[in-house]
């Protein structure tokens, strides 16, 4: 019987979650409670719509001609909270010759995530903070699992796109960014670093869910702040991609 999963939503023609044009499957459930999360409605494992891998693959295959130079990205929430579903979906898609990517914060212990990490073609790994205490304050969980995930991906020589959110007064500080950039240079598996400017576009969802949005007084990064952040990583020889958010929900990558 095909494994069932809880699906938050899908994006048929995604351009921001891996190489090429991609079909993105957003799964329910997340261990983290990031202060800036723009999809807090994904946190609850019981939310979303229950679907089987068969059903999801059937829909994906209807787009196969469009995503042939891209692929499928499994995102969330935290997709590794549904490891059996993610693994079967990846396995089925690979049999169809479709490239797979996993968008994860690596917050799940390796004993759970290893089979999925081994099977997927590439990983988009989000490091919230290199500082464990700051990571806990920002997300409700330390960074041990994330860093262990990165070390394992290096060991198995998996393609990695590293992601990091730039939050003024939290992660968007010169010394913190220099420490992170220096740390990342020892990982040859990292193909690029994607810097994501903090934004408040999801704040309305917190209000709808009667949650307190604690970063309402934090300003979005200025051009000078983003330029500073970018230069720090480039000086370390790391390829940088920066995503900007404009005009509501439209998103463009620059650089």
The CA-based dihedral angle spanning residues 109, 111, 124, 121, taken in that order and rounded to the nearest 10 degrees: -170
Determine the Cα angle at 80 with ends 46 and 253, to 5°. Answer: 105
Three-state secondary-structure class, residue 179? helix
**Res 228 pLDDT > 90:** yes
DSSP state of 244: E
pLDDT tens digits, 123-169: 999 999 999 999 999 999 999 999 999 999 999 999 999 999 999 99
pLDDT at 121: 98
With bands split at pLDDT 50, 70 and 90, how would you rate the model's confidence at 244? low
CA Rg, the chain, in Å? 17
Determine the Cα angle at 18 with ends 240 and 198, to 5°. Answer: 55
Distances (CA, A) of 239 to 69, 87, 161, 191: 22, 30, 10, 7
Q: What is the pTM of this model?
A: 0.93
| Rounded CA separation 60/54 (Å) | 10
With bands split at pLDDT 50, 70 and 90, how would you rate the model's confidence at 93? very high
Place domain 4-254 in its CATH homologous superfamily: Aldolase class I (3.20.20.70)
Asked, as a colleague might, if the bond just before 77 is cis with ω within 30 of 0, I would say: yes
In this structure, what token pair is assigned to residue 76? 């969330």
Residues 6+ apart with CB under 8 A from 177: 171, 228, 229, 232, 233
DSSP alpha helix (H) spans, the chain: 53-61, 83-95, 110-119, 132-139, 144-155, 174-184, 203-208, 223-235
DSSP state of 46: T
Q: Residue 133: which region, alpha, beta or left (left: phi > 0; alpha: psi -120 to 50)?
A: alpha
Strands 122-126 and 71-75: unpaired
pLDDT tens digits, 71-87: 999 999 999 999 999 99
**Res 249 pLDDT > 80:** no
Q: From the CB of residue 26, how many other CB atoms can be counted at a distance below 10 Å?
A: 21
Q: Could you tell me the residue ranges of all domains in the chain?
A: 4-254
């Amino acid at each position: 019987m095909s494994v069932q999963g809880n699906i938050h939503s899908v994006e048929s023609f995604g351009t921001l979650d891996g190489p090429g044009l991609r079909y993105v499957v957003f799964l329910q459930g997340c261990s983290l409670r990031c202060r800036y999360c723009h999809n807090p409605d994904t946190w609850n494992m019981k939310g979303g719509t229950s679907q089987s891998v068969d059903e999801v693959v059937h829909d994906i295959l209807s787009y196969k001609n469009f995503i042939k130079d891209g692929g499928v990205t499994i995102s969330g929430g935290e997709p590794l909270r549904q490891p059996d579903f993610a693994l079967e979906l990846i396995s089925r898609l690979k049999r169809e010759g479709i490239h797979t990517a996993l968008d994860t914060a690596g917050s799940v212990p390796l004993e759970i995530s290893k089979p999925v990490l081994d099977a997927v073609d590439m990983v988009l790994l989000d490091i919230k903070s290199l500082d464990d205490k700051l990571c806990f304050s920002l997300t409700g969980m330390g960074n041990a699992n994330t860093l262990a995930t990165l070390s394992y991906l290096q060991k198995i020589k998996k393609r990695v796109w590293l992601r990091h959110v730039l939050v003024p007064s939290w992660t968007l500080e010169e010394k913190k960014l220099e420490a992170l950039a220096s740390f990342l240079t020892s990982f040859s598996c990292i193909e690029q670093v994607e810097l994501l400017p903090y934004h408040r576009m999801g704040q309305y969802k917190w209000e709808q869910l009667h949650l307190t949005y604690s970063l309402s007084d934090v300003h979005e990064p200025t051009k000078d702040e983003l330029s500073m952040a970018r230069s720090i990583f480039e000086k370390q020889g790391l390829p940088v991609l920066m995503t900007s958010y404009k005009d509501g929900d439209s998103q463009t990558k620059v650089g």
